[in-house]
């Protein structure tokens, strides 16, 4: 009887380990929609790679591999492109909403990429949580203490995550 229970526990652990190792994805997909009057190629830079896809009916799609969590950025066309922020790439299904527009600064026309929303990743959840916290407490008299506590919480939960490092650099 005891041997039967031990056998069942060992088999459960064995199959659980197999299932967990199979569930880890080794690729990402980025599905997105765009706002703005743009049809053409959109380029995504990540991990020393430049990938491209054609924006059709205000939609785009990329697929690739990231060995670790890293940042990605977009470029439009051949002119200079400015992004309001980078985004984090993880081997997950990522959904993006972008605004693609042009702006002239000092007589130079720039392509602007504005990230309106990101979802589908651990990082996007952490970012949304922090941004909501910041919007709620940034004007408080005790903002610095609350911010410190929040940053401490994020870094404690996600010590190896590049977003944690980014928040610390931003706060210093």
| Confidence grade of residue 171 (pLDDT, cut at 50, 70, 90) | confident
- pLDDT: is 41 or 84 the higher one? 41
| Confidence grade of residue 1 (pLDDT, cut at 50, 70, 90) | low
| Confidence grade of residue 166 (pLDDT, cut at 50, 70, 90) | confident
Query: For residues 31 and 95, is the Cβ–Cβ distance under 8 A?
Result: yes
| Confidence grade of residue 48 (pLDDT, cut at 50, 70, 90) | very high
Which residue intervals of the chain bear CATH 2.60.40? 28-118
Beta pairing partners, 45: 50, 73
| Confidence grade of residue 3 (pLDDT, cut at 50, 70, 90) | low
* Plot region of 40 (φ>0 → left; ψ -120 to 50 → alpha; else → beta): left
Distance CA 38, CA 58 (A): 7
> What's the 3-state SS for the chain?
CHHHHHHHHHHHHHHHHHHHHHHCCCCEEEEEEEECCCCEEEEEEECCEEEEEEEECCEEEEEECCCCCEEEEEEECCCCEEECCCEEECCCEEEEEEEEEEEEECCEEEEEEEEEEEECCHHHHHHHHHHHHHHHHCCCCCHHHHHHHHHHHHHHHCCCCHHHHHHHHHHC
Q: How far is C-alpha 145 from the chain's CA centre?
A: 27
pLDDT score, position 117: 94
| Confidence grade of residue 2 (pLDDT, cut at 50, 70, 90) | low
pLDDT score, position 63: 96
In this predicted structure, the answer to whether residue 97 has a pLDDT above a threshold of 80 is: yes
Looking at domain 28-118, which CATH architecture does it have?
Sandwich (2.60)
pLDDT score, position 85: 85
Beta pairing partners, 119: 95
Distance CA 153, CA 33 (A): 33
Distance CA 66, CA 71 (A): 10
Distance CA 54, CA 58 (A): 10
Q: What does pTM read for this prediction?
A: 0.76
| Confidence grade of residue 71 (pLDDT, cut at 50, 70, 90) | very high
Percent of the chain with pLDDT over 70: 87
Beta pairing partners, 115: 98
In this predicted structure, the answer to whether residue 10 has a pLDDT above a threshold of 90 is: no
């Amino acid at each position: 009887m005891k041997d039967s229970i031990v056998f069942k526990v060992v088999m459960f652990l064995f199959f659980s380990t197999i299932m967990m190792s199979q569930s880890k994805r080794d690729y990402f997909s980025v599905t997105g929609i765009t706002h703005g009057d743009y049809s053409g190629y959109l380029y995504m830079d990540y991990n020393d790679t430049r990938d491209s896809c054609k924006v059709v009916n205000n939609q785009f799609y990329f697929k690739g591999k990231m060995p670790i969590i890293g940042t990605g950025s977009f470029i439009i066309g051949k002119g200079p492109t400015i992004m309001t922020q980078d985004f984090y790439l993880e081997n997950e299904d990522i959904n993006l909403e972008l605004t693609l527009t042009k702006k002239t600064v000092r007589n130079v026309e720039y392509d602007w990429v504005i990230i309106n929303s990101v979802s589908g990743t651990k990082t996007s959840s952490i970012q949304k949580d922090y941004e909501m916290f910041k919007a709620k407490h940034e004007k408080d008299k005790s903002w610095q203490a609350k911010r410190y506590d929040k940053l401490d919480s994020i870094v404690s939960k996600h010590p190896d995550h590049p977003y944690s490092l980014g928040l610390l650099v931003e706060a210093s």
